[in-house]
Structure 1
Amino acid sequence: MKQVLLIFTLLIFGISYSQTAPIFENDTLITSTGFKVYEGLDLKIGTGSMNDGDFKFIRTNASSLFNYTSNTGYQGLANQANSFKRSNSGLTFKVKKIMPRGNKKNGFVYYAKIGSGLMNYEVDLENAIRSGEVIVPDEFLPKEKSQHINSETKYDRLKKIKELKDSGVLSEEEFQKEKDKIMAEK
């Protein structure tokens, strides 16, 4: 019985996970949010997510002649030397190629190769979309994964109305009405 329950649980979680994993088929990547990326697509660049405004998830292509490699990093910042510069914010680049990296056992990360001339960059698509480094239509923006944030907000609001009731600002009836509204939210 325990084995059946374990298999059933794994199937349920496996199915729900696979629905949000990126899918690569027929030279098109469908990201976890449903955004389709393919060769020739114009990718609109957002703003860099590193402290200095440079891009964390768009960097010099690993096979590029211009890729900086070091055991110690660039001025102590390993990713900094190869990052896409903040001056590229707001520009549009054509996708040259979709590059999956990884394997079935450990999973894949999908990169889009962009650039002009000799300088090519790779875009970690999932993270670039999530961080706003790549701009996608609103319907393809990541949804909040955790309702914990909403729960905290809900309980914070309950605490506030309780304090208002305790201080005499709200009557018991007003408090109950507000409490019921908050508790009914999803």
Structure 2
Amino acid sequence: MKYLVIGGTGRTGRRAVELLRDLGHEVLIGTRHPRDDGSLAVDLADSLDPGLLTGIDGVIVSVEPPADDAAADAVMHAGLRRLAEQAAAHKVPIVLVSQIYITRAAEHPDMAGIIRARGAGEQALRDSGAPYAILRPSWLTDAPATGVHLEQGDRGDGRVSRETVARTAVAALLHPESHGKTFELYDGPTPADWPAVFTALTTD
């Protein structure tokens, strides 16, 4: 299988790339600053190559939004909408790494514009008709992964390892039981049986 990881040079995206390659998959890295390693120029704030998803079996989007509210909206909302429209046309699943507090932006006024942009991007993905899973990690750490606890409803708070986020994103990409579902991630005590965990979630 051939996958595209947009944001594949970031701390979480890079690990997702490694995990997919360890499983024997071909992985393309989409980044705003491509290098001479075969990575692709993908800037969600700009127009996308209409052939970007040709031959692609699935996409992980793990990008950090700009700090400026308007720029964040251009990337996380408008850019994601354009990507989702392509994915819908090609029937390519997208796994979006978002964040908690999407429905509670007022609790973090310093980040409210970014949170709203992420939330609008989530909804654009849902409305596009593309197969999708939306992961909402809690506050990210670089601690070693343990297990994972998934919730729905955006009511919690906590922390989660970037390694756990990468593993969950890859699992969501590979297991269609995750499709059509939005969920929060926290560190947990035990490893996940992914198909069972995803099946237990409520569809959006």
For the aligned pair, the TM-score class normalised by the smaller chain equals under 0.3
Q: Look at both structures and tell me which one has the larger radius of gyration over its CA atoms.
A: 1
Tell me the TM-score normalised to structure 1 length: 0.22
Tell me the TM-score normalised to structure 2 length: 0.20
